[in-house]
Amino acid sequence: MLTILFDGVAYGMLLFVLACGLSVTLGLMNFINLAHGAFAMAGGYCTVILVNRYGVPFALGLPLAFVVTALLGGLFERTLYIHVYARPHLDQVLFTIGLVFMAVAAVDYTMGSSQQFVQIPEALTGQINVFGIGMGKYRLLIIAICGLLTIALQLILTKTRFGSRLRAAVDDQRVARGLGINVGAVFGLTFAFGSGLAGLGGALGAEILGLDPTFPLKYMIYFLIVVTVGGTSSITGPFFASILLGIGDVAGKYYVPKLGAFVIYAIMIVVLIWRPQGLFARATAK
């Protein structure tokens, strides 16, 4: 029972790191980015290549995955995404789905369609027992890293100047522009950072979520659930939503394995009918 809870929390934390970039871009520009998972996949493959082929230590592979995907995200944002912000939602959906299809086929072409595994260090495999609960060391590491990241994100968002600019831009873009905040630059940076986080999540999660070319399609729905259920106005909303989703998914797969993801979709639809703005969203004037 507690092990399920523990696994669920680890899974949820991972989902949060993967999805929080998406929630910020969605909240900031009202942009539906279905290609977010593609960046996560890029991070995962980046780590696989670095660690497995070039023997880079795992501890160095993770930050590199972050940097590479952040650069990639920034590049895509400046060259492609920037043209699509003002378009209707239909165009955004089409555009990003097109990107996902391309990413899936391109990775399939270059890396093959088989499942990839990151060689994690010996020290991180196996379990340790705390108060009689078996905990995977790797999952503990995930919880630690993701927990620290969450705290850091929350601090950046609430304490720094950049954070207050970002929040101002999310709350009301036009007024923020009027106050002299360069919303475009804020958005570009946030997009790159969010993509980087997704890449880090993909690298960390390769062990748990699995990594193959269909990754962006498989997990797209999960990211979107986190974002829609958690709301886009804060960072705590998506956080609780992803923990909830993680526990729900692990518990659902354990107790009613045959129903699979049915439980998750059902919960999502119920929540969205109950509160279309998201579970933790505050009322906005938009």
Q: Which CB atom, from 200 or from 268, has the smaller least distance to another protein?
A: 268
Q: Which CB atom, from 61 or from 238, has the smaller least distance to another protein?
A: 238
Indicate which single residue of 59, 75, 86, 102 sits in contact with another protein (rule: CB under 8 A). Answer: 102
Indicate which single residue of 101, 145, 167, 181 sits in contact with another protein (rule: CB under 8 A). Answer: 101
Q: Is 217 in the site for another protein (CB under 8 A)?
A: yes
Q: Is 91 in the site for another protein (CB under 8 A)?
A: yes
The site map against another protein for 157-196 (x = CB under 8 A) is: ----------------------------------------
Site residues for another protein, 27-66, by CB under 8 A, read: 32
In the bound complex, what is the minimum distance in angstroms from residue 81's beta carbon to another protein?
A: 11
Which residues, 6+ apart, have CB-to-CB distance to 148 below 8 Å?
A: none
- Tokens 């590049």 belong to 75
Q: Is 89 in the site for another protein (CB under 8 A)?
A: yes
Q: Is 18 in the site for another protein (CB under 8 A)?
A: no
Q: Is 112 in the site for another protein (CB under 8 A)?
A: no
Q: Is 83 in the site for another protein (CB under 8 A)?
A: yes
* Total residues binding another protein (CB under 8 A): 44
Q: Is 261 in the site for another protein (CB under 8 A)?
A: yes
Instruction: Write the burial class of residue 101 (CB in 10 Å: 0-12 exposed, 13-18 middle, 19+ buried).
Output: middle
Q: Is 22 in the site for another protein (CB under 8 A)?
A: no
Q: Which CB atom, from 168 or from 272, has the smaller least distance to another protein?
A: 272
Indicate which single residue of 75, 148, 262, 282 sits in contact with another protein (rule: CB under 8 A). Answer: 262
Q: Which residues bind another protein (CB under 8 A)?
A: 26, 32, 80, 83-84, 87, 89-91, 93-95, 97-106, 108-109, 217, 220-221, 224-225, 227-228, 258-262, 265-266, 268-269, 272-273, 276-277
